[in-house]
């Protein structure tokens, strides 16, 4: 029986997590985007998708389900996908999510940190097509993710690190390097 990998992509907003996940998808991994839960909750509460409402929903879900909320809520989706493919998780956030997934999946679980400087990330966030952020919102989100979401731990404990300060092509090459190492 083949054992598929569970890969968590970690990093700050605008670092390039979704682009790395896209490359994994191109290699047959099923993507689970943790932010989809936030989007579903925004729709169910009839809230406009913006930084303030998204933050409110994230905090609300974590109050209700604990700091490992997004990992816990995604376990059924991840388990279902693992029956036929590897899984790449776009947007693993908290230390508690990391610990839950590490304990649940053991050696099957690995993490990839995508790093970029605040200036690079801010420029990317201002120009992205979906959910763009201005400089103040980007800085506020960074602070919130570090202070309230315990995001630093999973980044510090990553099994692989990709520095994303150059071109998309370079990011894709670095992601391919990680994929080769996982085989």
**Which string of DSSP letters, residue by residue, matches 4-41?**
--EEEEE--TTSSHHHHHHHHHHTTPEEEETHHHHHHH
Render pLDDT for 102-160 as a digit per residue (tens, 0 to 9): 999 999 999 999 999 999 999 999 998 877 888 898 898 899 888 888 899 999 999 99
Architecture of domain 6-182 in this structure = 3-Layer(aba) Sandwich (3.40)
DSSP code of residue 48: -
pTM of the model: 0.90
Nearest to 111 by CA among 5, 35, 28, 25: 5
* Average confidence (pLDDT) over 150-175: 96
Query: Residue 163: beta bridge partners?
Result: 115
């Amino acid at each position: 029986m083949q054992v598929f990998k569970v890969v968590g992509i970690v990093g700050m907003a605008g670092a390039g997590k979704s682009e790395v996940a896209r490359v994994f998808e191109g290699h047959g991994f099923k993507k689970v985007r943790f932010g989809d839960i936030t989007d579903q909750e925004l729709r169910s509460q009839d809230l406009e998708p913006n930084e303030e409402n998204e933050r409110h929903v994230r905090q609300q879900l974590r109050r209700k389900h604990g700091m490992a909320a997004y990992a816990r809520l995604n376990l059924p989706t991840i388990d279902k996908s693992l029956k036929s493919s590897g899984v790449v998780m776009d947007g693993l956030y908290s230390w508690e999510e990391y610990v839950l997934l590490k304990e649940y999946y053991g050696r099957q679980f690995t993490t990839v940190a995508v790093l970029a400087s605040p200036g690079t990330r801010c420029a990317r966030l201002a120009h992205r097509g979906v959910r763009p952020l201005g400089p103040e919102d980007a800085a506020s989100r960074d602070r919130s993710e570090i202070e309230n979401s315990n995001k630093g731990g999973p980044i510090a404990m990553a099994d692989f690190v990709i520095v994303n300060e150059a071109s998309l092509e370079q990011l894709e090459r670095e992601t391919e390097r990680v994929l080769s190492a996982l085989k």
